[in-house]
Each structure stands twice: as C-alpha cells, then as structure tokens.
Amino acid sequence: MPELPEVETIARQLQQRASGNTVTSVTLHRADVVHGWPMPLCAALRNQKIEQIYRQGKRIRIQFSGDWTLVVHLGMTGRITIANPGQPLEPHTHLCISLSENRREMRFCDPRRFGAVWLIGHDESQDNLRHWIGRKLAAVGSDPLEISLDELAACLGRNRRIKPLLLDQQPISGIGNIYCDEVLHRARLHPLTPARQLGRGDVNRLRRAMRQVLSEAIAAGGSTISDYRTADNQQGNFQQKHRVYNRAGKKCKRCGQTIQRLLVAGRSTFLCTRCQPMQELAASAAGVNRSTGQSAVG
C-alpha cells in the first residue's frame, strides 16, 4: 500500500506536470469509485484550472480554481499517472482527466478498488451529509514530517503499543506497515513498546527517525514492493535500502543479528531484537507474551 513517501512522490510529480493546466474533459469509466458531492465530475471540473496538487497524510489533494477539490486515496493498488496522447489505457483505469497542455491525461487506475476519489468543496465540509454520496472522509492526523516534539509526545501519551498506534492514522497520518518497521528499527524501539512509557529521549529519537526514514524514502521515489508506480509510471528504489522490512532471516544491517518476524496487530512485523530490545520493565507492565512476542491488546 502506498504510504507517505510514495504518495508524496506522486503528489510532487503531479504538481510539476499537471498544475496550471485546465481540464478539457473528464471520462469516468466506473462511477462507484467517486464519493462526496453528487455533482457529475465532468460538470464540476471541466474548464477549471488545476491550482495545486499536494499530499495530506496518505491522500492526494487536487485543488481546482472553481469550487472543488478532488481527494484521492490510492488504497492498496491505486495509481495516478500522467499519460501522453495515444498511450493505451491500462486495465482498471477508472477515471481520466484530460489536460490542456499537449493533450495529456491524468489517469486513476486501481485493480483492487480499495482506493477512491472524493469530490468535495475546498473547506472539506461534510456538514450537509444529506447530499453526500458513498464513503465519508476520515479526519487527517498530524504529519510525521512536520510534527513537533511536544505534539508527538502528546500523541504518544496513550495506552497503546507503539506500532498499532503509528499504523492507526490517528493521531498521526501517513505511516503504514513498511515505514513503521523501518522507523522503529532506526529509533531502536521494539514495536510492542507501550507508547506512554517512552521517555523524552525515546520520543526525540522516534521523531528524528520518522523524518530521516521518510525523507530518504521520498528522495528514493518510495518503495516498490509490488504495485506502486510513480506518476511517471516508474518504480521506487527505497526497497533496496530497507533495513528490516521483508528481511526475516537476513542479517541486521546495523549489528549483524538475524532479523525476526512477529505478528503485531495482525500485521507482519520485522525487527532486530538486539537493536530493538523489549525493555524488561515495559514488557512486564504491558503483559506481553514473550514466547510469541504477541500483545494481549491491539
């Protein structure tokens, strides 16, 4: 699933290539991928200029000159690419937005359809839900690249373990399974550490690790494990730099210990138990089953 670095990569490329264009036409091949206001997309977006495209959490926001903004969530397998004229339509392309410059198209394709597109007003108001169609938009939490130390400390003061808390998209939005494991390894924190037991030094290390790992991943164009492609239809490169994710049985790049796999909150979790020891105090207080490494609560 695309996480913050992949979505940021796509949003930056779209901003460079599509922003400033005017929409000449909209073709919707599958109406049920669109949610939000019950206004036909073509009527809403035609002749509107694309003002700005940016990331918010794991979403892409495409802001138009008129009244509307499109919010795109890529789900598991979603892609937004810029296609040149005559480029064949990939299977499972649900939406094409034709651009004024060189007759290119911005295309949304999503084989598994966990992704979606929302047409909303700029203020994202969902007050008048009588007129809302389909899935609601969940609130977006703090951004891991911008969160302050105090804000992060406040987010972590909860009775949750650190990995499920970071995956939850509230109170922090953007980190999924891959980058959670990479960040926790970089911060030398066990994924089952109770969040509220982290000291100021731990929180500081976690914040630094989030910024470092996510920034490095953005610079590498994200991680391509299976489906992810950039807006230019290229693969990312950060998977080659993963230190723990999907590396069970291989050596830790920092200390040489064998990487292990656990199940945390139902998700495969990769860690180095030497770099990321479970502190004894934290373990006993949290009731962790140390033989399986599984927590009693999510």
Residues of the shown chain interacting with Zn ion in the complex, contacts defined by CB under 5 A = 252, 254-255, 257, 272, 274-275
Distance CA 63, CA 78 (A): 19
For 213, the enclosing helix (H) or strand (E) is: helix 200-219
Check: CB of residue 63 under 8 Å from CB of residue 69. yes
Distance CA 187, CA 164 (A): 16
Tell me the CA distances in angstroms from 104 to 9, 206, 267, one per residue in order: 19, 42, 39
Reduced to 3 DSSP states, what percent helix, strand and coil does the chain have, rounded to the nearest 5? 30, 25, 45
Q: Which residue of the set 2, 144, 164, 194 is catalytic?
A: 2
Distance in Å, CB of 254 to Zn ion, minimum: 5
Q: Pick the closer one to Zn ion by CB: 170 or 258.
A: 258
Distance in Å, CB of 50 to Zn ion, minimum: 45
Check: CB of residue 196 under 8 Å from CB of residue 285. no
Instruction: Say what angle helices 200-219 and 4-18 make with each other, to 10 degrees.
Output: 40
Contacts of 31 (CB under 8 A, 6+ apart): none
Distance in Å, CB of 251 to Zn ion, minimum: 8
Distance in Å, CB of 292 to Zn ion, minimum: 21
Q: Pick the closer one to Zn ion by CB: 69 or 276.
A: 276
Coil, helix or strand at residue 32: helix
Distance in Å, CB of 247 to Zn ion, minimum: 11
Q: Which residue of the set 5, 8, 55, 58 is catalytic?
A: 58
Q: Give catalytic status of residue 124 as yes or no.
A: no
In 3D, which of 57, 43, 50 has the Cα closest to residue 6? 57
Q: Pick the closer one to Zn ion by CB: 61 or 243.
A: 243
Q: Give catalytic status of residue 2 as yes or no.
A: yes
Q: Give catalytic status of residue 111 as yes or no.
A: no
Q: Which residue of the set 196, 211, 261, 267 is catalytic?
A: 267
Q: Give catalytic status of residue 267 as yes or no.
A: yes
Q: Pick the closer one to Zn ion by CB: 53 or 192.
A: 192
Q: Pick the closer one to Zn ion by CB: 80 or 244.
A: 244
Check: CB of residue 51 under 8 Å from CB of residue 66. no
Distance CA 165, CA 96 (A): 36
Distance in Å, CB of 278 to Zn ion, minimum: 14
Instruction: State which amino acid sits at residue 248.
Output: A
Coil, helix or strand at residue 83: strand
Q: Pick the closer one to Zn ion by CB: 12 or 253.
A: 253
By annotation, the residues acting in catalysis are: 2-3, 58, 267
